[in-house]
Chains A and B, each alone.
Chain A
Amino acid sequence: MIEFQHVFKSFGRGRNILADVNFRIDPGEFIFVSGPSGAGKSTLLKLVGGLEPPSRGAVTVNGHRIDRLAARARPYLRRTVGVILQDAHLLFDRNAIDNVRLPLAVIGLDRATATARARAAMEKVGLRGKEDLNPIEMSGGEQQRLAIARAIVGRPAILIADEPTANLDHTSAQHIMDVFRDFNQVGVTTLIASHDTGLMARYARRTLHLDAGRFNDIPGVPA
């Protein structure tokens, strides 16, 4: 469950990126966060992922109040949220499977189990046989799928993605969205920020529309 109550977010003394945002997402929901550039979509996702604390208001994720969470406890919350950013943020000094294994090294999983789970995650996103490739040798779509594999390998309860298809062609974007849908179907709460109205229409789910940091919860058409 994700809940925002009267959430404000600003950086330094700047303007409010988010202003009095209120919503609730139940476990297993598939949500789009839409809005023009600069509307606060990425900031909202960072708050959900525990990457940033709110300036004011209450953010509850998986039963934990992020605004009250001690800084040293945040990493443990982050492990329950898979994050995919627009830039895949892959490490090019190691091969693909080592990129996917990183979250499992963080939790201290043994190498054999970590390798098996990383292979399984790569297979789920359609990257079987590409384990030993350096990410730099992969296409944009493959790199994004590798980032998804890294996000899901820890079996998070929530998956958040910031414009995951922004730089991809139609076929690759379709493939990526199918991967998200598959995970959502096994109970993973999925939150995707996008301004691609065509994409949102095809996957027709509840959409949170942000405009200049303010929010309107627009119920989507059931799929």
Chain B
Amino acid sequence: MNAPGNPRREPARGGEGAPRQGGVAGARHEGSPVHRWLRHHGYALRVALRRLRLHPLSSIANIVVIALMLAVPILGASVLQSSQPLARQLSVAPQLTLFLAPDVAAAGQRALLERIRSESAEAVASATLLPREKALETLRAEPAWAQALAALPDNPLPDAIVVTLRDSEAPARQATALAEQWRQWPGVDHVQLDSDWVRRLESLLSFVRWGVGLLAAAVAVVVLATVFNTVRLQALTQREEIAVARLVGATESFVRRPFLYLGALTGLAASLLALALARLALVPLNEILGRFARSYGIEWSVALPAAADLALAGAVVVILGAAAARLSVTRRTRF
């Protein structure tokens, strides 16, 4: 006799036609633990697919709901990832313009230029003096300004120093700091930060990044709730099957496994559908964005994130589906 509590360890006795006196029935044909494990999972997968087929409308509805929710952060991530190179490209060489006071003589202007070059050598790529006459000449060359300037009796422009900064990790922040510093110098009337809009773009992207993260978290909750509810209903409709399985010696894992596959399959199907929907949505979106970007002289289009990133996101959804099913079935199969 075995020690109580270990019926699994009792070896099977008797031949093909004889009953067993304990232990696991059918042990001779169960094969290795790996084969048994594979057969259990194959069976669970078949049961899960059958259950999905048995209720096609509700299965499809659940998959579509999750897919629609998933498509939104995929599109958000696409826009975000496609915008980052653009922002980096635009912020490579931010410029600052120092407008000088009218009473600063030519020698004072050159002294200011030298001071910028010597005190901020690490940050400054180039600094050039732009006399007011040359600035006026440049503006007159532009048809939009020519008419307005012709109406003025005098040259309204001040002398200026145009500073181009070197590329850095945070160009917008660096430019702001230098502008603050130079604004205090005597002889400097005003400092215009030409890369202000880059900073605003960076802030906007940071906000979008945060928004996409929040959206992804909301989608995770939707996936969990939808799969949880689906599995709960499935478990209720499969009460009889669960009871019979327990009657013939099914373990809790055997009962739960098909539900986990159901959750994972729902997640997988929804991920694939979401990908297809996002790809479809990018066609008209790129047409609109392309026109908009070209009006600023930029070539820009939105592409889906890298395949590896999409595969990772899909895997997360599949795991979320299985986890929600596990949570639901643990609560619902104790009939």
| A69-B7 in contact given A157-B19, A186-B17 (Cβ < 8 Å) | yes
| Interface flag for A108 (CB, 8 Å) | yes
Residues B20 and A155 in contact, CB atoms below 8 Å apart: yes
| A73-B5 in contact given A108-B40, A187-B19 (Cβ < 8 Å) | yes
Q: Which residues of A contact B8 (CB under 8 A)?
A: 73, 76
| Interface flag for A22 (CB, 8 Å) | no
Residues A72 and B251 in contact, CB atoms below 8 Å apart: yes
Residues B29 and A188 in contact, CB atoms below 8 Å apart: no
Q: Which residues of A contact B19 (CB under 8 A)?
A: 155-157, 183, 186-188
**A111 to B35 Cα, complex, angstroms:** 12
Q: From residue 51 to 87 of chain A, which have CB atoms closer than 8 A to chain B? A: 51, 62-65, 68-70, 72-73, 75-80, 83, 85
Contact of A186 among B2, B18, B43 (CB under 8 A): B18
- In the assembled complex, how far is the CB of residue B52 from the closest CB belonging to chain A, in whole angstroms? 13
| Interface flag for A91 (CB, 8 Å) | yes
Q: Which residues of A contact B186 (CB under 8 A)?
A: none
| Interface flag for B248 (CB, 8 Å) | yes
| Interface flag for A213 (CB, 8 Å) | no
| Interface flag for A223 (CB, 8 Å) | no
**A83 to B246 Cα, complex, angstroms:** 11
Q: Which residues of A contact B241 (CB under 8 A)?
A: 91, 93
Contact of B22 among A72, A80, A108, A186 (CB under 8 A): A80
Contact of B7 among A77, A83, A90, A102 (CB under 8 A): A77
Q: Which residues of B contact A65 (CB under 8 A)?
A: 4-5
Q: Which residues of B contact A70 (CB under 8 A)?
A: 5
**A93 to B244 Cα, complex, angstroms:** 13
Mark each residue of chain B from 1 to 43: 1 if its CB lies under 8 Å from any CB of chain A, else 0: 1101111101000100111111111110111000111011001
**A27 to B1 Cα, complex, angstroms:** 14
Interface centre among A107, A109, A117, A156 (most CB of B within 10 A): A107
**A103 to B244 Cα, complex, angstroms:** 9
- In the assembled complex, how far is the CB of residue A215 from the closest CB belonging to chain B, in whole angstroms? 23
| Interface flag for B146 (CB, 8 Å) | no
| Interface flag for B254 (CB, 8 Å) | yes
Residues B2 and A89 in contact, CB atoms below 8 Å apart: no
Residues A108 and B39 in contact, CB atoms below 8 Å apart: yes
Residues B247 and A73 in contact, CB atoms below 8 Å apart: no
- In the assembled complex, how far is the CB of residue B23 from the closest CB belonging to chain A, in whole angstroms? 7
**A114 to B286 Cα, complex, angstroms:** 57
- In the assembled complex, how far is the CB of residue B172 from the closest CB belonging to chain A, in whole angstroms? 61
Residues A93 and B4 in contact, CB atoms below 8 Å apart: no
Residues A91 and B246 in contact, CB atoms below 8 Å apart: no
With both beta carbons as reference points, the residue of chain A lying nearest to B43 in the complex is identified as: A105
- In the assembled complex, how far is the CB of residue B237 from the closest CB belonging to chain A, in whole angstroms? 10
| Interface flag for A113 (CB, 8 Å) | yes
Q: Which residues of A contact B1 (CB under 8 A)?
A: 63
**A106 to B6 Cα, complex, angstroms:** 18
Residues B54 and A93 in contact, CB atoms below 8 Å apart: yes
Residues B26 and A89 in contact, CB atoms below 8 Å apart: no
Q: From residue 226 to 249 of chain B, which have CB atoms closer than 8 A to chain A? A: 240-241, 243-249
Interface centre among B2, B25, B36, B43 (most CB of A within 10 A): B25
Q: Which residues of B contact A63 (CB under 8 A)?
A: 1-2, 10, 22
Q: Which residues of A contact B6 (CB under 8 A)?
A: 64, 73
| Interface flag for A154 (CB, 8 Å) | yes
Residues A91 and B240 in contact, CB atoms below 8 Å apart: yes
Residues A91 and B2 in contact, CB atoms below 8 Å apart: no
| Interface flag for B250 (CB, 8 Å) | yes
Residues B22 and A157 in contact, CB atoms below 8 Å apart: yes
Q: Which residues of B contact A68 (CB under 8 A)?
A: 4-5
| A103-B22 in contact given A73-B5, A109-B30, A110-B29 (Cβ < 8 Å) | no
| Interface flag for B252 (CB, 8 Å) | yes
* Shortest beta-carbon contacts, A-B, top 3: A79-B249, A108-B36, A154-B25
Interchain residue pairs with CB less than 8 A apart (14): A51-B247, A62-B7, A62-B21, A79-B24, A80-B24, A85-B247, A89-B244, A90-B244, A102-B244, A106-B245, A107-B26, A108-B37, A108-B40, A156-B19
